[in-house]
Amino acid sequence: METIELQQNKQGFRVRGAGQALYRYGAVITILVVIAFFSIANDHFFTYANLSDILKSISIVTFLALGVTFSLVVDGFDVSVGSTTSLAVIAAASALVIHRQELFVAVLVPLSCGAAVGLLNAFLAVKLRLPDLLATLAVMYVVNGIQQTYSKGYSIYEGMPATVGHQTGKFIPSFKWIGQGEWFGIPMPVLLMVLFVALSHLFLEYTTYGRRMYMVGGNPEAANLFGIPVERYRVFAYVVSGLLASVGGIVLASRIGTGQVSAGAPLLMDSVAAAYIGYALFGEKRPSVLGTLLGSILIGVLLNGLTMMNVPYFAQDIVKGGILILALTFSFLRKDSARMKS
């Protein structure tokens, strides 16, 4: 590492010890500072119960944010993840309550829905070559509409009136365990989040497939001229994104124990923000799983801390927006972009 840095110095790289470190670990430092601040300001903040609460609260957003990250890696952008989560919630609830299915089906149906939405996104953005943001925006509306049409705008829960269908089953304990259970005192959603984060990180950073996804996103033409099937990788990214969003939906349905309509909608913006904060992380303009996780933690910590300090919830969006602006400024104001272009 030393030799590398020396040589980069010689070549006129802007390596200036402290400045570089600030860029690289800016977001990590910010998180630590924020945690330290809240710990001092509020006695109840730095307790196991509260930290576990924070992790629980961000777990679902993190699934969606991982999906967004996968789409960003191949230079796409999936904003349909919120709707996909809503659809998964309704699908799981419907399978359990209306169709009286067991765990296996209650998990499989929402996953299939997620994969289907991913394929639809891929068809529009990859095969028809619509701009990614617009294609997934359209799909966001369509999927949200499907989910509302199916449920006729009513939530699906035990003891509901028979507007959508007749209740024949219920939220079985094994399904509820996904979102409410614990394992050695660690909440299941947090465990699942850690598991999926670890798998995604391993896949993207340590396998050739993940590496190639970055290559596809970085320069599709060069990737194609290296024999990498660019379209296939992009389709794959959208399907993974849909699947991750539906995992988020399963956990959400299990945690609240009902099939809320449009339950995923408010998660979209947080997940996009988390992914973009992660994009800025480590001073590189590069989407990454760890960055996304830290982005999502930062948002979670802030919201939790602010709530404890009695900042009204309706003012919290201002803080979220501010953090996002800060993160983006950090990454886009870096001077190296000019050097890389020549």
Partner 1 sequence: MTLALAGIHHGFGNHPVLHGVDFTVRRGEVHALLGMNGAGKSTLLHLAAGVYVPLRGTVLIDGQPCIFRSPGEAAARGIVFMAQEVDKGLVPQLPVHENLTAALLRREGRIWFEKRGNRERARELLREYGLEVEENRPAGTLSLYEKQMLSIIRAAAGHAKYLLLDEPTASFDRKEAEKFAAMVERLKAQGIGIVLISHRLHEVQRMADLVSVLRDGRTVLHSIAKETDIPQLVAAMSGEERGIGRRAGSSAGDNPVNFSVHGLRRSRQFPELSLSVRKSEIVVVFGHLGSGKTWLARSLFGAAKPSYRARIDGVEYTIASTRQAARRGIVLVPEERGKQGIWKREDIRDHLSLGFRGFILKRRETAYSERIIKAFDIRPASPGYKVGALSGGNQQKVAIAKWATGTPKVAIFDEPMKGIDAAAKETIFRKIEEWAASGVSVLYMTAEPDDALRIADRILVLSRNRFTAEFTAAEATPARLFEAAEEEARLVGND
- Return the closest-CA partner of residue 326 out of 37, 74, 22: 22
Only one residue has tokens 């959208």, namely: 238
67 to 106: interface string for partner 1, x by CB under 8 A = ----------------------------------------
Of the candidates 162, 166, 221, 313, which one interacts with partner 1 according to CB under 8 A? 221
The torsion angles phi and psi of 99, rounded to 5 degrees, stand at: -100, 0
3 touches partner 1 by CB under 8 A: yes
Q: What number of other Cβ atoms are within 10 A of residue 162's Cβ?
A: 8
Of the candidates 15, 36, 134, 225, which one interacts with partner 1 according to CB under 8 A? 225
219 touches partner 1 by CB under 8 A: yes
302 to 341: interface string for partner 1, x by CB under 8 A = -------------------------------------xxx
> Which amino acid appears at position 333 of this protein?
L
Choices 15-23, 171-179, 225-233, 291-299 (CB under 8 A): range interacting with partner 1 = 225-233
- CA dihedral 320→321→325→331, nearest 10 degrees, is 50
3-state secondary structure 131-187: CHHHHHHHHHHHHHHHHHHHHCCCCECCCCCCCCCCCCCCCCHHHHHHHHCEECCEE
Smallest separation (angstroms) from partner 1 to the CB of 73: 13
Smallest separation (angstroms) from partner 1 to the CB of 75: 12
CB nearer partner 1, residue 134 or residue 225: 225
Task: Identify residues 183-212 at the interface with partner 1 (CB under 8 A).
Answer: 206-208, 211-212
Token pair recorded at residue 98: 């209306």
Smallest separation (angstroms) from partner 1 to the CB of 219: 5
Q: Are 199 and 210 in contact (CB under 8 A)?
A: no
**Positive or negative torsion for Cα 321, 323, 327, 333:** positive
Site residues, partner 1 (CB under 8 A)? 1, 3-4, 7-8, 11, 13, 206-208, 211-212, 214-215, 218-219, 221-222, 224-229, 285-286, 339-341
